[in-house]
Chain A
Amino acid sequence: MTTTNLDPSSIPLPTRRRPRIGETGLRALTAATALLLVAIMALLVYETARQAWPSIQEFGLGFITSDQWNVVTGQFGALNFIIGTLLTSVVALVIAVPMAIAIGLFLSELAPRVLRTPVGLMVELLAAIPSVVLGLWGILVMGPFLAEHVEPWLSDHLGFIPLFSGYPSSQGVLPACVVLSIMVVPIVASISRELFLSVPGELKQGAMALGATRWEMVRSVMLPYVSGGLVASTMLGFGRAVGEAIAVTQVIGGANAISRSLFPPGDTMASRIAAQYAGTATSLQRSSLAYLAVLLLIISLITNIAAQLISGRLQRRLGGEA
């Protein structure tokens, strides 16, 4: 031990002798999965667009405004399916979003504490039911029920509104709307529950201390506070409804027609792909179905990214406030 009189500052800091294999290895491995993710996403977009390319070249943007879908003449257009998609999704949201927000409110504010976890779990389970099972139920139970009991009533009492006019049908747009709303409710409900839980207690107490009732506090303080997030969750729900293929195919009846009523069969972009892609007669038909997929992809990308931007901006705003 002769080092005692060594000046500590002369001891060099330990330097790394050899690269640490574990460290670089794990880092590289995990980074590779990230690259894989990006590659999957890019390839997904590329491959779908590649399949759609012949149809895109043939029809261009006219595809969107044409209501033809004729294998014999080789004329394909998406208009009816776009309208069918928007109609089913919008009606589904109109049914689902208010309900889902109310459920979110129930789970975060109104329900007795003991009920919150089990009821929340049941709402989440609704999202877990496979869509094909929901479709089976839709086609064999709910569709006939709507046609026998609900649609006649609607057309008797609200028939002056074109949406509710016409003859009842067990397969059609209305059952599709109901099935889609069942799928959208749990998504929007669980996001709204999180949003409501994120409202600072200070604000809620501030409103109560001024003599607000609980509902007034909800309406005037909580709802405005979470409104941006609710918009984002609605967009996610919209994306989900637009993209659902299986259950819609099962219940909607499959018809290339626009009706002013919700009762007769129709088709959405996703359901048309599900119904026809596996058994196409011509390559142009297959390519046109891929064109529909490209449109779906674009819609899902836009709604998803927009929803993320909205909630991201919101988080920053609220983060800055805290």
Chain B
Amino acid sequence: MSAQDDRNPLTVVSPRSRRRKLQGRLMELLASFAALVAIVVLLVVIFSVAKRGLPAVNADLFTQVAAPFGVEGGGIKNAIVGTLIMTAMATAMAVPIGVLLAIFDTEFAPPQVSVAIRMTLNVLAGVPTIVIGIFIFGLVVVSNGQSAFAASIALAIIILPVIARATEEVLLLVPSTLREGSMALGATRARTVVSVILPSAFGGIVTATIVGVARAAGETAPILFTSSIFANAVVTDPSQPMASMPFAIFTNSESPSHHDQQVAWAAALLLMAFVLLGSITGRLLSLRTRRQIEQMR
């Protein structure tokens, strides 16, 4: 067929179309390169944190609190405990409120109200976290002093829009035929929500929670003014300020001491691993929930 193809006018490539195609290839290559750069940056950050953090991860890190000034050794046990407690408290506050908010927004609110709420959620999500730190400082810390509780409130405000929006997204995916089916059987709106909509959106709410936890665990700015002066010991009383992993990384990163930097890298590795695993799990779960709900249609 090659002999014929030589004369085939469809294979004759004019200089102009050669140029057009070349330009297209070039731009597509550039776009693919941009994606490659993003991946490389991610891998470089992960790799360099792991490279420096791994050697510093040892048993002391989990079993010791920070060593006194000028003394080698020590760990971040109190920071790990603090982060776990504060994250748990923030999640416990934000998840119920966020889920109820999403239910109100998708199931009960009149359209205009729902638009307004969504807008407010987006605005709240856009407020710099440092400003939220200042807000809680004035609201809670000025009168009651620093505490893990105050920090948890700040974290809860930060993850509230994350959880509400993620839940909303799943609730909106629940097919309206399910809603109508239940209502047609004489169920009230509330009954429909509780017995039909929430169960089908359960996976999505779990995902929202995981994403919220990951976000809360990694936030530093709101902790800076609400739980930054703490005893160098494991604290479990939420009315007292607690150490936290992000804060430990923050202060140690600015220290000239090599040992402090080692602790910072180790804490960063742990925190990053926790947050990235949470995000991946959340993401994969949400893909699965999406598929499941789509199958219901």
B84 at the A/B interface (Cβ < 8 Å)? Answer: no
Contact B275 A130 (CB under 8 A): yes
Contact A41:B124 (CB < 8 A) given known A129-B275, A250-B254, A290-B134 = yes
Specify which chain B residues have a CB less than 8 angstroms from the CB of A160 in the assembled complex: none
Segment of A75-83, A100-108, A151-159 engaged in the interface with chain B: A100-108
Contact A119 B35 (CB under 8 A): yes
Contact A33 B224 (CB under 8 A): no
Contact A41:B49 (CB < 8 A) given known A102-B35, A132-B250, A133-B249 = no
Contact B194 A26 (CB under 8 A): yes
Segment of A1-9, A17-25, A202-210 engaged in the interface with chain B: A17-25
Contact A121:B283 (CB < 8 A) given known A130-B272, A136-B264, A277-B134 = yes
Q: Convert A103-139 into 0s and 1s, putting 1 for each residue whose CB lies closer than 8 angstroms to a CB of B.
A: 1011100110000010101111110111111111101
Contact B28 A215 (CB under 8 A): yes
Specify which chain A residues have a CB less than 8 angstroms from the CB of B283 in the assembled complex: 121, 124
Contact A124 B189 (CB under 8 A): no
Contact A99 B38 (CB under 8 A): yes
Q: Convert B94-136 into 0s and 1s, putting 1 for each residue whose CB lies closer than 8 angstroms to a CB of A.
A: 0001001101110111000100010111111011111111110
Q: Convert A178-205 into 0s and 1s, putting 1 for each residue whose CB lies closer than 8 angstroms to a CB of B.
A: 0000100110010000000000000000
Segment of B18-26, B71-79, B201-209, B230-238 engaged in the interface with chain A: B18-26
Contact B120 A41 (CB under 8 A): yes
A29 at the A/B interface (Cβ < 8 Å)? Answer: yes
B92 at the A/B interface (Cβ < 8 Å)? Answer: no
Closest to B250 in A: A132
Specify which chain A residues have a CB less than 8 angstroms from the CB of B275 in the assembled complex: 128-130
Closest to B161 in A: A37
Contact B134 A122 (CB under 8 A): no
Inter-chain CA distance A47–B271, complex, in Å, is 32
Contact A129:B104 (CB < 8 A) given known A51-B138, A243-B129, A305-B119 = no
A141 at the A/B interface (Cβ < 8 Å)? Answer: yes
Contact B130 A245 (CB under 8 A): yes
Inter-chain CA distance A99–B36, complex, in Å, is 10
Segment of B1-9, B60-68, B172-180, B213-221 engaged in the interface with chain A: B213-221
Of B20, B34, B97, B120, most A-chain CB atoms within 10 Å: B34
Contact A123 B38 (CB under 8 A): yes
Specify which chain A residues have a CB less than 8 angstroms from the CB of B138 in the assembled complex: 47-48, 50-51, 290
Contact A51:B134 (CB < 8 A) given known A30-B108, A130-B219, A213-B21 = yes
A313 at the A/B interface (Cβ < 8 Å)? Answer: no
A246 at the A/B interface (Cβ < 8 Å)? Answer: yes
How many B residues have CB within 8 A of the partner chain?
89
Specify which chain A residues have a CB less than 8 angstroms from the CB of B279 in the assembled complex: 124-125, 128
Inter-chain CA distance A24–B7, complex, in Å, is 79
Inter-chain CA distance A218–B24, complex, in Å, is 10
Whole-angstrom distance between the Cβ of B43 and the nearest chain A Cβ:
8
Contact A277:B31 (CB < 8 A) given known A126-B41, A296-B130 = no
Contact B129 A20 (CB under 8 A): no
B80 at the A/B interface (Cβ < 8 Å)? Answer: no
Contact B220 A131 (CB under 8 A): yes
Inter-chain CA distance A139–B260, complex, in Å, is 14
Whole-angstrom distance between the Cβ of B227 and the nearest chain A Cβ:
11
Contact A33 B101 (CB under 8 A): yes
A274 at the A/B interface (Cβ < 8 Å)? Answer: yes
Contact A129:B126 (CB < 8 A) given known A20-B190, A278-B224 = no
Inter-chain CA distance A186–B129, complex, in Å, is 18
Which B residues from 254 to 276 make CB contacts under 8 A with A? 254, 261, 264-265, 268, 271-272, 275-276
Inter-chain CA distance A124–B287, complex, in Å, is 14
Contact A29 B100 (CB under 8 A): yes
Specify which chain A residues have a CB less than 8 angstroms from the CB of B268 in the assembled complex: 132-133, 136-137
Specify which chain B residues have a CB less than 8 angstroms from the CB of A34 in the assembled complex: 101, 104-105, 109, 113, 117
Which 3 pairs between the two chains have the least Cβ-Cβ distance? Answer: A243-B128, A130-B218, A215-B24
Given contacts A27-B108, A274-B224, 9 further A-B contacts (CB under 8 A): A27-B189, A27-B190, A37-B101, A121-B283, A128-B279, A139-B254, A141-B48, A244-B128, A308-B122
Mind listing 12 A-B residue pairs with CB under 8 Å? A23-B190, A30-B108, A44-B124, A48-B131, A102-B35, A110-B28, A128-B218, A128-B279, A132-B253, A136-B253, A243-B129, A296-B128
**Chain B residues near A (Cβ < 8 Å):** 20-21, 23-25, 27-28, 30-35, 37-39, 41-42, 45, 48-49, 52, 97, 100-101, 103-105, 107-109, 113, 117, 119-124, 126-135, 137-139, 157, 160, 164, 188-191, 193-194, 214-215, 217-221, 224-225, 228, 246, 249-250, 253-254, 261, 264-265, 268, 271-272, 275-276, 278-280, 283, 287
